[in-house]
Structure 1
Amino acid sequence: MTPRTAAKAGKTRHEAVSLATVARETGVSVATVSRIVNGKSGRASAETIARVAEAIERLGYRPNPVGRALRRRTSRVVAMLSPNLDNPAMAAIAVSTEAALRKAGYVMILCDTHDRPELQDDYLQAMRDQFVAGYILVSAVRSRGLEQTLGRGDPIVFVARRNPLGGGAYVGIDNRAAGADAADFMLAHGVDRPAVLMATENASSTAERAAGFVERLVARGVPEDGIRKASAPGLSHIEIGYAAARNLVQDGGWPRGALCVSDMIAYGAYRLAAESALSIPRDCRLVGVDGNAINHWIAPWLTSIRIPYETFGQHVLEQLRLQWSGATTSEIYIPHQPLA
């Protein structure tokens, strides 16, 4: 191996070693390694500090200048990655967060991932190249780039959908509780055999809404095999709602009521109902989740669990500030508005 080849191999080896690599090697958390690297050992014992220092030297770990800039907040730019910005719920989260960041002196860059892991990774890398101060991931999906971002310990807040890799700062509602409230509403209005409409590739948030709905119905005496479920593939919830409703009807006709795990799915189901000369909500009561502001104008027929997206921004900013200061973050559950 020539000196040039050896130097190139050594450089590649150093670049591949992250805080997560050192953490795995030493059996401590990434946060502990990060504090030791940055001279803030905290409650770490002398033995732990020595073990981490030895691993850093042996593995050839070198602090990344981009990661260092993130931690020191030399940038006033924050990146939000969100899917399907044509969804009013995603837009409402972006508006709330941008306003809170702007008031605090930050600028927000907004990227649409279209729920695709490769686009999410492209944006994560592009924003890292811009030395952003942190990331806000709305409805994140599992991806290699996300794993690497978490491994570096970069500031990141998950919104609406919890971290698909587990842990981390989160801002959203209790989706199971929302589903349970929808079940109580259905039963209170005499719908004793409601159905569920959802996506085939169900995200954790919408899957939890459906699960909470079914669990509450069963707990209140509805046989689980009597709760019809229908889904359809795709990324557009409005198209999914139309196709899922069609599948449901073909498999047994219209139910007296159905939980649509998002307002957009309810819009799609309503289109099929209109084509079938079915009156909503007289013939079939649809319950959505989001409480989009446009419902008053275009969907007065829809009963929807309202999520106060306008309050999300301040909580997201607080979660970022905790990470910038090195403090512990948590999962913040914002109460949804109960159905009347």
Structure 2
Amino acid sequence: MLRRMNGPVTLRDVALAAKVSVSTASRALTGAGLTSRGTEQRLQRIAAELGYRPNTLARGLKTRSSKLVGLVVHNLTNASFRVLAEVVGERLRAAGYQMLLCVTSDEPERERETIATLTDQRVDGLIICPTGRNGAQLAMLERGNTPVVCVVRQDPAAEAETVLAADPEGAYAGTRYLLELGHRRIGLIVGRQETTSGRERLSGYRRALEEAGLPFLAELVHAGPYVPETGLAGCAALLDRPHRPTALFVANHESTLGVLRGVAERGIAVPDGLSLLCYEDMPGLAWQRPAISVVDSGAVAMAELAADRLLQRLGGGAGAALRRGQEYRVGARLIRRQSCSPHTEA
């Protein structure tokens, strides 16, 4: 049994312990061939006992591949981002890559710094939910042959392939569902309008109202950042008015927790006093009493498709060519539970 060294263990240390040349140790530990299976296994055992870890940056300079891929999201409050991290991480690991997970809090400056850091780390590719403010920086990565896939949101300046939910259709289906239940005053809590999802969910809501012959009332819409506090503020803006909505559509996922708190603090019974429909499913919503109805945006399918496109481009085989500006859509799905009930106008 070899003793672990106190300082960093180098490839030369492993070679000396195994009584082989540095080049033989390198080939055995990287699986580059030209060494027997027995030699590879012995070198791997010695390296593990010594605590040797390869210098991925140095190896990347030689092979032009770091085997690192960045995943950049806004937060881990959003259930879709957690699913994205889990699915993409597993897909990359199975393909021999390691994922670097970065959180930007939806702040353009933090995103800019994060992209620069990942570039310095020579990541082989990037999957990102963009803020929409650093598209030129992402386009530079693409022009430098680092594949970029945007997910959840689009940034036209990035010139990248983008995987999106069918948000216009999802918001339309959710609003139609509430209209079919007899609701005519439907409040909407939605994301920032400079984001793809914020704009598209509002457009789906408006289209459903227009088709039903109802006017769009700005007083029934509260837009804000993707944080729980937006849900609390939305409750104050929409539920504390004399003629409040009979149904509330929370199309800003992070705001769902704030809305659940705001509704409970006001003692409003769901669904008897207010029908409640949320966007993007998460396990806790099915466990609520009553269980919360949702429009699910298909996070697993988006994650799988984003990983597919990135790995195809990294692999260099069929389908590897950049489809500049190509947009892929994953269908949204209405899940009816117990938080919405029919309404009859008095």
The answer to whether the superposition gives a TM-score over 0.5 is yes
1:111 aligns with 2:102: yes
Structure 1 window deviating more from structure 2 (215-224 vs 306-315): it is: 306-315
Question: What is the letter of the counterpart of residue 206 of structure 1?
Answer: G
Alignment match, 2:303: 313
Moved over 4 A (4+): none
> Among residues 251, 266, 289, which one is paired with 1:261 in the alignment?
251
Counterparts of residues 138-217 of structure 1 (less than 5 Å)? 138-143=129-134, 145-165=137-157, 167-200=159-192, 203-217=195-209
Shift of 1:151: 4.8
Secondary structure at 1:283 match in 2: coil
Q: Do the aligned partners of 2:139 and 2:159 also contact (CA within 8 Å) in 1? A: no
Q: Which runs of 5+ in 2 are unaligned?
A: 1-56, 337-346
Secondary structure at 2:189 match in 1: strand
The 1:221–1:227 alpha-carbon spacing in structure 2 relative to 1, beyond 3 Å, is farther
Q: Do the aligned partners of 1:182 and 1:339 also contact (CA within 8 Å) in 2? A: no
Shift of 1:133: 0.6
Question: Whole-Å Cα distance in 1 between the matches of residues 308 and 249 of structure 2?
Answer: 33
The 1:124–1:226 alpha-carbon spacing in structure 2 relative to 1, beyond 3 Å, is closer
| CA deviations over 1:127-160 (Å, ceiling 9, x no partner) | 1111111010024431253354345453100011
1:338 aligns with 2:337: no
Structure 1 or 2, whichever has the larger Rg, is 2
Shift of 1:294: 2.4
Question: What is the letter of the counterpart of residue 332 of structure 1?
Answer: Y
Question: What is the letter of the counterpart of residue 263 of structure 1?
Answer: H
Q: Do the aligned partners of 2:185 and 2:247 also contact (CA within 8 Å) in 1? A: yes
Question: Whole-Å Cα distance in 1 between the matches of residues 85 and 199 of structure 2?
Answer: 23
Question: Whole-Å Cα distance in 2 between the matches of residues 221 and 73 of structure 1?
Answer: 59
Structure 1 window deviating more from structure 2 (258-267 vs 76-85): it is: 258-267
Q: Aligned Cα RMSD in Å? A: 2.5
> Among residues 105, 124, 128, which one is paired with 1:133 in the alignment?
124
Counterparts of residues 290-301 of structure 1 (less than 5 Å)? 290-298=280-288, 300-301=290-291
Shift of 1:301: 3.8
Alignment match, 1:57: none
The 1:323–1:192 alpha-carbon spacing in structure 2 relative to 1, beyond 3 Å, is same
Alignment match, 1:102: 93
| CA deviations over 1:204-258 (Å, ceiling 9, x no partner) | 21221121111121112112238721234x452x110111121123444431112
Question: Identity of paired residues, percent?
Answer: 22
Counterparts of residues 207-286 of structure 1 (less than 5 Å)? 207-225=199-217, 228-232=220-224, 234-236=225-227, 238-286=228-276
The 1:296–1:111 alpha-carbon spacing in structure 2 relative to 1, beyond 3 Å, is same
Q: Do the aligned partners of 2:130 and 2:150 also contact (CA within 8 Å) in 1? A: yes
Secondary structure at 1:197 match in 2: strand
Alignment match, 1:288: 278
Shift of 1:307: 2.4
Question: Whole-Å Cα distance in 1 between the matches of residues 243 and 253 of structure 2?
Answer: 21
Q: Which runs of 5+ in 1 are unaligned?
A: 1-65
